[in-house]
Amino acid sequence: MSPLLELRGLTRSYGSLTAVDGVDLTIARGERHALIGPNGAGKSTLFATVAGTLRASSGSVLLSGRDVTSLPEADRARRGMVRTYQHSSLFLGCSVLDNVALAVQRVHRVTHRFDRAARRFKHTEAEARRHLDSVGLSGRAQDKVAALSHGERRQLEVAMVLATEPALVMFDEPTAGMSAAETERFVTLMERLPEDLTVLIVEHDLEVVFRLADLVTVLHLGKVLASGPPEAIRADDAVQRAYLGSARTEDLFTDAGGPR
Amino acid sequence: MATHLVSVLNGLAMGSLLFAIALGLSLVFGMMDVLNLAHGAVYLVGAYVAVALVSDGAGVAPFVLAVLAAAVAGAVLGGLLASLTRATPHHLDQALLTLGVALVVGEGLSLVFGNDVHSIAAPEPVAGGVTVLGETYPVYRLLVIGFGAVLAVAVYVLVERSPLGSLIRATVADRAMVAALGVNTGRVLVGVFAAGAALAAVGGVLAGPILGAQPGLDEKVLLLALVVVVIGGLGSVRGALLGAVLIGQVQALGTALLPEYASFLVFAAMALVLLLRPAGLLPARSGVHA
Amino acid sequence: MKAEAEEIRGGTPALKDSIPVVDTPAVGGADHPRRRRAVVTVGVVALLAAAPLVLAPYPVSAMTRMLAFAVLVIGVDLLTGVTGLPSLGQAAYFGAGAYTAVLVGIHITADALVQALAGLVMGLVTAAVTGWVAVRARGIVFLMLTLAIGESVHQVADTWSVVGGSNGLAGMPPISLFGGPSLLAAGFVYWWVLAVAVLVFAAVALVARSPYGRTLRGIRDNEARMRALGYRPALARYGVFCLAGAVAGIGGALWAQQARFFSPGDMAFEVAALALLSVVIGGAGSLWGPCLGAALVLLVRDNLSASIGGHGPLVLGVVFVAVVFLMPRGLAGLTGGRLRVVTRARRRKENPS
């Protein structure tokens, strides 16, 4: 059986700068895979290139063995590959329920129906409420997203992503800008994700990474420096030098993606 | 052959005027994303300044006076519009504000000057014709073409070769970055707004002997300027020039060959450009929104 | 309220051409407000229907025009308020529908229903043909393109002899319904226009509340996120543009049926600008607000105008500037204000930070 996600020599350059340089990566079904690396290692670019937000300069992205490199972001999302953003990206003028329902109605193929009011699509509404419930936001279904706190917006994003019934979810620094309590709640939420869901997560908080990930890949200057189980990565000399050794100073200068 | 030449010359004269008018619209849009819907009204103010100051058979002096007065009036209006639009950060609100100003100015002009069609005489010394390849052609229009050429060179030197120009171009490319470098972009923006409006008003005077002045002309001119900007690429000086010359030719050719469909040809030209080059022919910056 | 609006906008990731986020009236919700809204709606429609019984023919004709104009405005609101595509070109499709109705009336049939349907189809087709250029752009560029399209179509009408050029088309016979006699009394024409307007209002309200309406609001708020969810926003945008064109086409047909005449002046830039002004006055995204705005705007232009020397647009221009400064959410925002303050207070209590 082919792996869920496979990257072959994936490269993305901006002019003369190669932000992602020939990355090979294989992620199996149900795996929890973390991507770490110092600032400027190319994590976000790699992410955007895999998701299709950016076009790859060369190399390929395979989803379940099928080449999706030339597909636009929307088509990759339809094949079960969804991402979140560093800064929460929601529909601020819509209600909390609408945000999740937007994801559900795409899966249910009713996005262009206007023969009935949305609430008459009982199946879609129920499914949206179920997802809101699963992240503990069912009490706020009718509130505007603008009224949610930062942590709640992150929870809503998880509900929205899960509502697309994805095979692979890519979280881009989900705990950035969260308080300790919010981070704890978020990690608990992540641990409760369905077993068969494959997760790729970019994260600055190494504690979160080592709690959640089965496998960790370290990116440095656009290249894969090391890849393996958390314990092995912790022990790896090269990683120590390139990343963990400087973790303390890193924390000082981290570009935490909090609200601006 | 000779009639073709007349058509080409007419197109060049029209292109020169359109360049003067569209330049401000394009730079203001490129630099601050403000769609100035009062741009046509500013033009019309210039045209009516000429109506007020230039009488039939007048010499060069009243005409020059009209140009100067229109430049001042345009600059004042532009400064006013700039400060008005800076009161709200939202682009739709800004456009609506300028639309409101356009309605007020247009109505104000028809209050003062009535709804009649006014024609404006070219200055006496250049009111006659000259023979070009066996065809009589108005001297004044040749002068307008010359003005367009001089303006194009002057603007090119100013924008591409001067420190102020590099500031303007940088602001078009990335306003936030320029502001972060400590430059007071506000003053640059107001200055460009005022200068662009002054140029449009001057365009109104210069176009007077060709297009006259009448209510509703502001909308027609605004539309042509918009099409020029869209075709050339938003915020691009070279684009505005290319667009103006192209639309001038399309208009002149259309009027000569298919008068009934001249306006349709302009739209078709725009649609064609948008189909092939969505960002315009010579875009100032790349990206989806440009 | 203003501070909250800033916060809303500040949170959107650098969408360069984003337009103000507007509130949509809470869709769904508890049963109680829904029933209250139904009662209010029935009451308003009943009042409107009773108008010809107590008013003289002239005000009834004026109200007929307001209703036809309100139909155009509803279409503009569907684009501007619901989808976030501010349009200054809808007068083109209004004109297309009107000319079609007049031509059908002169050459084919006096049946009002056939004329309205022909207007709808022509508005839809014209929007479908010209719209694909516009829907590739967003925000203020979209505004610019629709303006260019609208003015171009207007100028075509102004020069094209088939539709009478700048003289327009006159001589449309009075409408009739279902093979009945000609409707000559202003009141009957009014009832017909009211019926169609209510139908259009209900249809657009349904679209706004449907899953498609939700899709459109999603596009308005965050198009990049829509793509990441697997949507193809271009298709939905094109769809709503065609829909709004059809609505404008019906509005034009109704307008022509009342006036029995149509000229390029009736589809000029000013008409599109006033339609957008109505939406802004009424509050983009709310449906009843813009309808009220439409009535107000026409009242000023056609009725107040006479008493101030025909310079209604002067007043409207001032109104434009004033509305942007004083009522960023329009009339609909005035009623919603209290509710938002409450939500805000509650949020503060929960997040004392």
**Domain ranges, ordered by start, for chain B:** 2-276
pLDDT of residue C25: 45
pLDDT of residue C95: 95
Residues A226 and A203 in one domain: yes
Please give the C-alpha separations between residue C262 and each of C107, C172, C252, in angstroms, as whole numbers: 15, 9, 9
Domain boundary among A165, A184, A211: A165
How does pLDDT run along chain C (353 residues), one tens digit per residue?
A: 334 333 333 333 332 333 343 444 444 444 677 888 888 889 999 999 888 888 888 889 999 999 999 999 999 999 998 998 989 999 999 999 999 999 999 999 989 999 999 999 999 999 999 888 888 887 788 888 898 888 888 888 888 888 888 888 888 888 888 877 887 788 889 999 999 999 999 999 999 999 999 999 999 999 989 998 999 998 999 999 999 999 999 999 999 999 989 999 899 888 998 899 899 888 887 888 899 999 988 888 887 766 666 677 788 888 888 887 777 666 665 554 333 333 333 344 334 33
Instruction: Choose the mutation target among A63, A102, A142 for the interface with C, i.e. most C CBs under 10 Å.
Output: A102
Kindly tell me if the per-residue pLDDT of A5 is higher than 60.
yes
User: Does residue C86 lie within any of the structural domains?
Assistant: yes
Q: What tens digit of pLDDT does each residue of A211-245 get?
A: 889 999 988 888 888 888 988 888 877 777 766 55
User: What CA–CA distance (Å, rounded) separates B251 from B58?
Assistant: 30
> Which domain CATH number covers A245?
3.40.50.300
CB contact under 8 Å between C350 and A142, yes or no, is no
pLDDT, averaged across chain B? 85
Q: What are phi and psi of C109, to 5 degrees?
A: -150, 155
Residues A52 and A153 in one domain: no
User: What CA–CA distance (Å, rounded) separates A138 from A135?
Assistant: 8
CA distance C25 to chain A (A): 10
How many domains in chain C? 1
So what's the ipTM on this one?
A: 0.83
Domain boundary among A146, A165, A184: A165
Q: What is the pTM of this model?
A: 0.83
User: Does residue A183 lie within any of the structural domains?
Assistant: yes
User: Does residue A86 lie within any of the structural domains?
Assistant: no
Q: State which residues form the domain around A21.
A: 1-80+167-260
User: Does residue A225 lie within any of the structural domains?
Assistant: yes
Torsion sign, CA atoms C266, C272, C274, C279: positive
Any contact of A with B, at least 3 CB pairs below 8 A? no
Tokens of residue C238, six digits: 């094109």
Residues A5 and A107 in one domain: no
Q: What tens digit of pLDDT does each residue of A44-79 get?
A: 889 889 999 889 999 999 999 899 999 999 999 999
Nearest CA in chain C to B266: C152
Q: What tens digit of pLDDT does each residue of A162-216 get?
A: 999 999 999 988 888 888 888 898 898 888 888 889 999 998 888 888 888 999 9
pLDDT of residue B230: 87
Residues of chain A contacting residue C29, judged by C-beta atoms under 8 Å apart: 142
What is the average per-residue pLDDT within B249-259? 82
Does residue B83 belong to the interface with chain C, where contact is any CB pair within 8 Å?
A: no
Q: For helices C312-326 and B91-113, give the axis angle rounded to 10 degrees.
A: 160
Closest to C215 measured CA to CA, from C25, C127, C83, C124? C83
CB contact under 8 Å between C133 and B271, yes or no, is yes
User: Does residue C40 lie within any of the structural domains?
Assistant: no
CB contact under 8 Å between C211 and A114, yes or no, is yes
pLDDT of residue A256: 42
Instruction: Choose the mutation target among A111, A125, A260 for the interface with C, i.e. most C CBs under 10 Å.
Output: A111
Identity at B129, one-letter amino acid code: G
pLDDT of residue B2: 64
pLDDT of residue C353: 36
pLDDT of residue B245: 93
In the block, tokens 């109605």 appear at A105
Nearest to A105 among C11, C12, C214 (CB): C214
pLDDT, averaged across chain A? 86
User: Does residue A207 lie within any of the structural domains?
Assistant: yes
Residues A109 and A227 in one domain: no
CA distance A222 to chain C (A): 24
pLDDT of residue C3: 40
Identity at C8, one-letter amino acid code: I
Kindly tell me if the per-residue pLDDT of A248 is higher than 50.
no
Q: What tens digit of pLDDT does each residue of C193-234 get?
A: 999 999 999 999 999 999 999 999 999 999 989 998 999 998
Domain boundary among A137, A165, A193: A165
Residues A151 and A178 in one domain: no
Nearest to A93 among C23, C343, C351 (CB): C23
CA distance A105 to chain C (A): 7
Q: What is the DSSP string of B150-209?
A: HHHHHHHHHHHHSHHHHHHHHHHH-HHHHHHTT--HHHHHHHHHHHHHHHHHHHHHHHHH
> Which domain CATH number covers C302?
1.10.3470
Instruction: Choose the mutation target among B26, B29, B91 for the interface with C, i.e. most C CBs under 10 Å.
Output: B91
Nearest to C215 among A53, A77, A112 (CB): A112
Tokens of residue A240, six digits: 């120590």
Q: State which residues form the domain around C314.
A: 58-350
Residues A161 and A181 in one domain: no
User: Does residue A144 lie within any of the structural domains?
Assistant: yes
Residues A76 and A173 in one domain: yes
Residue-wise over A113-127: b if at least 16 C-beta within 10 A, else e? bbeebbbebeebbeb
CB contact under 8 Å between B95 and C143, yes or no, is yes
Residues A174 and A251 in one domain: yes
How many domains in chain A? 2
User: What CA–CA distance (Å, rounded) separates C248 from C276?
Assistant: 13
Q: Which of A28-42, B13-27, B256-270, C324-338 has the lowest mean pLDDT?
A: C324-338
pLDDT of residue C252: 96
Q: For helices C269-282 and C288-298, give the axis angle rounded to 10 degrees.
A: 130
CA distance C214 to chain B (A): 22
Does residue B103 belong to the interface with chain C, where contact is any CB pair within 8 Å?
A: yes
Residues A156 and A180 in one domain: no
Please give the C-alpha separations between residue B201 and each of B12, B20, B45, in angstroms, as whole numbers: 19, 9, 6
* CATH of the domain spanning B2-276: 1.10.3470
CA distance C138 to chain B (A): 7
Residues A16 and A60 in one domain: yes
Q: What tens digit of pLDDT does each residue of B179-231 get?
A: 778 777 778 888 889 999 999 999 999 998 888 888 888 888 998 898 899 88
CB contact under 8 Å between B33 and C140, yes or no, is yes
Nearest CA in chain C to A258: C11
